[in-house]
Amino acid sequence: MGSMNIGEVGKGTRLIFDNQPWLVLEVNFVKPGKGNAFYKLRVQNLVTGNTLEKTLRGGEKVEGADVADANMQFLYADANGFVFMDQQSFEQLTISTKIIADTKDFLLENMECSVTLWNGEPIQVRLPNTVVMEIDYTEPAIKGDTQSRVMKMAKLKGTGAEIPVPIFCAIGEKISINTQLREYAGRAK
């Protein structure tokens, strides 16, 4: 992408460190009483997901990452991986199971996702913040068990993933799930 001054870097900027793309999560400018000013960055590796702190001197140049986000639609899964279609060019892209990882638990056919591409290769798939899924199986509620926030496990239709849900949820009910926290968010409207 090109180099930029450290003073131009802000939250959400994508940079290259050690030949890897990193997302800046937090930027702090520190000016000690004695000595030169410096920037403390908290960054997350877009390939591995690791987070670390970087300290850079004021006036230093950093390399911007050539990272793009594309809106893609999930079509189907096969032996080679998960097939997505670019919403703009209608090209199909197969993404490996390693990159999808636990995202597959809430990935439904025809779902729109944001795919991060680095040098034309997919490195990350982000689902919508919430998805609506149907409960395939869960144990029935026990009468009289009304303690606050009692949870039970429920298997989701379509993916087979299991998440804890409140005791009042029943088989066939549609629920809203927070994909970042991997937890029940409420009944679907």
Tell me, yes or no, whether 115 and 146 share the same domain: no
Residues 6 and 56 in one domain: yes
Please say which residue of 106, 126, 146 terminates a domain: 126
Kindly state whether residues 60 and 72 are assigned to the same domain: no
The CATH number linked to 8 is 2.30.30.30
Edge-to-edge strand ranges of the sheet holding 174-178: 162-166, 151-156, 130-138, 174-178, 183-187
pLDDT of residue 33: 86
Query: In which domain, by residue range, is 28 found?
Result: 2-64
Stretch 58-63: mean pLDDT: 90
> Do 143 and 121 share a structural domain?
no
Arithmetic mean of pLDDT over the chain: 89
Question: Which pLDDT value is given to residue 147?
Answer: 63
Using the predicted structure, report yes or no on whether residue 140 has a pLDDT greater than 90.
no
Q: Among the three residues 126, 145, 170, which one is the final residue of a domain in this structure?
A: 126
CA 79 from chain center: how many Å?
23
Phi, psi of 102 (to 5 degrees): -75, -10
Return the higher-pLDDT residue of 131 and 47: 131
Predicted pLDDT of residue 129? 92
CATH code of the domain covering residue 182: 2.40.50.140
Q: Which of 126, 155, 172 is the last residue of a domain?
A: 126
116, 149: one domain: no
Shared domain check, 157 and 117: no
Q: Quickly state the pLDDT bin for 47 (edges 50, 70, 90).
A: confident
